[in-house]
C-alpha cells in the first residue's frame, strides 16, 4: 500500500525564474546578478534551509554575495510566493512554496530534519474549529515533533547545530 500521506503534485505554468522576473518588474525592481545567483541556488535543491545555509551554498558555488543581500532576497522570494517561511527555534527555515502543495511537517529533534506529509483531514479540522470560534482562518501549521526512523535506529549523526 502506498503512503497515504504522500504529497500530491501541483502544476504551475511559470518557472520560478519567470515568476520572480514578473514580481520584480511589477514593482520596478531589478534583476541583478546576486538575485539571480540566489534564485538558482534556492531552486537547485529541495531541502529546507535557513539564511546562513543558503549563504554558504552560494559561497561554495563560488559566488560572492553578502549576507544582507541574502536576507533581503529571501524576504522578496517569500513575498512573491516562491518560498515559505517557518520559525524553528530562533531560526527561520525556508522551503519551496511555488509549485508545491500545502503540507505539514514532522520535525526530528535529533537530526533537526524536516519531513513533509499531506493530510486533508487537517483542513477539515481547521474549518470546524474556526467555525466554532467564529474565526476567519487563513492557514495553519501542524508540526509533529519526535525522532525520525534513522535516528531511532541508533545512528546518531547530528545534522546541524541546535535549532530549538
Quick one: 14 or 125, whose CB is closer to a copy of itself?
125
> Length of the chain, please?
164
- Give CA separation, 112 vs 14, 32, 60, 66, 72, in Å: 32, 33, 22, 26, 25
**Number of other CB atoms surrounding residue 43 within 10 Å:** 18
- For the bound state, the minimum distance from the C-beta of residue 48 to a copy of itself, rounded and expressed in Å, comes to 16
- For the bound state, the minimum distance from the C-beta of residue 161 to DNA, rounded and expressed in Å, comes to 7
Burial 14-25 (b: 16+ CB within 10 A, else e): eebeebbbebbe
Cα gap 94→74, rounded to integer Å: 9
| Residue at grid coordinates 535557513 | 50
Q: Which of residues 92-121 bind DNA (CB under 7 A)?
A: 92
Q: Does 68 bind DNA (CB under 7 A)?
A: yes
- For the bound state, the minimum distance from the C-beta of residue 31 to DNA, rounded and expressed in Å, comes to 4
- For the bound state, the minimum distance from the C-beta of residue 23 to DNA, rounded and expressed in Å, comes to 10
Three cell numbers at 54?
543558503
The residues binding a copy of itself (CB under 8 A) are 3-5, 87-90, 106, 108-109, 115, 117, 119, 121-122, 125-126, 128-130, 132-149, 152
Asked whether the beta carbons of 115 and 46 are under 8 A apart, the reply is: no
- For the bound state, the minimum distance from the C-beta of residue 112 to a copy of itself, rounded and expressed in Å, comes to 14
Residue 12 binding partner per list a copy of itself, DNA, none, with a CB distance cut-off of 5 to 8 Å that depends on partner kind: none
Quick one: 29 or 140, whose CB is closer to a copy of itself?
140
**Given the rule CB under 7 A, which residues bind DNA?**
24, 28-35, 50-52, 64-69, 71-73, 75, 90-92, 161
Amino acid at each position: 500500500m502506498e503512503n497515504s500521506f504522500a504529497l500530491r503534485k501541483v502544476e504551475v505554468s511559470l518557472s520560478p525564474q519567470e515568476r520572480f522576473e514578473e514580481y520584480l518588474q511589477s514593482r520596478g525592481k531589478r534583476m541583478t546578478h546576486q538575485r539571480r545567483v540566489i534564485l538558482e541556488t534556492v531552486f537547485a535543491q529541495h531541502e529546507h534551509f535557513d539564511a546562513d545555509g543558503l549563504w554558504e551554498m552560494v559561497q561554495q558555488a563560488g559566488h560572492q554575495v553578502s549576507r544582507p543581500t541574502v536576507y533581503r532576497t529571501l524576504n522578496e522570494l517569500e513575498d512573491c510566493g516562491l518560498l515559505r517561511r517557518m520559525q524553528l527555534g530562533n531560526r527561520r527555515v525556508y522551503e519551496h512554496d511555488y509549485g508545491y502543495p500545502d503540507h505539514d511537517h514532522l520535525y526530528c529533534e535529533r537530526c533537526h530534519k524536516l519531513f513533509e506529509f499531506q493530510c486533508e483531514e487537517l483542513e477539515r479540522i481547521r474549518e470546524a474549529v474556526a467555525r466554532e470560534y467564529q474565526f476567519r482562518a487563513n492557514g495553519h501549521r501542524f508540526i509533529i515533533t519526535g525522532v525520525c526512523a534513522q535516528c531511532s535506529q541508533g545512528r546518531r549523526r547530528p545534522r546541524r547545530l541546535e535549532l530549538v
